[in-house]
Amino acid sequence: MKKLNTNMLSKIIVMTLLLVGSISCKETAKDSSEKEVIAEENTKESSDSRFGGLALYTVRDAMGKDAKTTLKSVAEAGYQNIEAAGYADGKYYNMAPKDFKAFLIELNLNPVSTHQSAVTLDNADVMMADAKTAGFEYFVVPIPPMGLFKYDQATSSMSMTGGAKNLAEILDTLGEKAHAAGLQLLYHNHDFEFKKDADGIVPIDYLLENCNPEWVNFQMDLFWVTKAEADPLAYFEKYPGRFKMWHVKDMDEQGRFAPVGQGTIDFNKILTQKEKSGMKYYLVEQDMTFDSLQPLDAIKISHEGLKKFGFE
C-alpha cells in the first residue's frame, strides 16, 4: 500500500472535520427545533387548561385578607375570567382600578364583570368610570339598588320595595349611563324576582319586557332560578339573547349551594341552549360552603365539574 502524502492527509482531515461539524449542526438545529415544539405544546396545554370564570364573591373572605395571594390561587385553579365584588372608596380590593387591572394582567386573568351593589343614580358615573379603568366589560347590578332590596334574616328571605316599574326605570337610567361609559349593564337575579309581588307582577318578567334591551340585559343565576322553581330554558325561549352571562352553581339535595357537578342541576340540558340565551361568559359562584369545605377548595372542585358538563 502506498503511503499517503502530507497534502492528501491534510485534505482528508479537513473534510472529516467539516462532515462532523455539519452533522453536529444539524443535530443541534433538530434539538433546538424539537425544544421549540415542546415549548409551544406546553404553552398551548397551559392555555387550554385555563377556561371559565369565577365570581370572586365566592372567595370574599380570602380576598379581604390577602387579595393578591387569593387571585394567584384563582389563576392556579385554572380560571381565566373573574368577576369582582369588592369595590369600595374608589378601589377594587384596596387597589386603584388601574393597579387592579395591571395585577390581573400579570396573572393572565381577564376582568369581565363587576358587581356594584352600592350604585345609585348619583354615584353611577364615578363607579362606571372606575369599572372601565379596571378593564371590565360588564357593570352588574346584583340586587335592587338604592335601598330597594330587603333581607329578612329570621326567614333568610329576600324581597324588594318600590315595585317593578320603579326598578325598571332605575335600570334603564343606569343602563344608558353604562353605555355612555363604554360598558354593558346587567341585572343579576335571585329567587324573589321570579315570584309575584303584592301587585301580582313577576318582577323579572316586567324587567325583561320593559327595560330597553339596548341598555339593560341580564346575568342569570342558575341556582336562584332553580330555587324559584322556574325554568331557565323557558326564559331563553321567550327572551332570547337577553342573558349575556350566567352564574353557574349547583344545588345539593338539601337545597343548599354546592360545587358544580356535586348537585342536582342539569347543566347539560341548560348548556345546549347557551346560544339562544345570548350567553357570552359564565362564572362559577358559590355563596356559602358547608361541611368544612373551604371556598378555595370548592372552586377547584367546581372547575373540574365544568369539564364534566362541557363548559369551555
Q: Any bridge partners for residue 284, and if so which? A: 54, 248
Q: Any bridge partners for residue 186, and if so which? A: 140, 217
Residue 42: its pLDDT value, please?
A: 40
Residue 23: its pLDDT value, please?
A: 42
Residue 312: its pLDDT value, please?
A: 85
Element of type H or E holding 70 = helix 67-76
Picking from 84, 187, 177, 172, the residue whose alpha carbon sits closest to that of residue 124 is 177
Q: Which residues of the chain have pLDDT under 70?
A: 1-48
State residue 156 phi and psi, 5-degree precision.
Answer: 55, 35
Picking from 215, 137, 136, the residue whose alpha carbon sits closest to that of residue 170 is 215
According to DSSP, residue 192 is labeled G
Residue 35: its pLDDT value, please?
A: 39
Residue 48: its pLDDT value, please?
A: 53
Cβ-contact 296, 54 below 8 angstroms? no
Within 8 A by CB and 6+ apart from 69, the residues are: 62
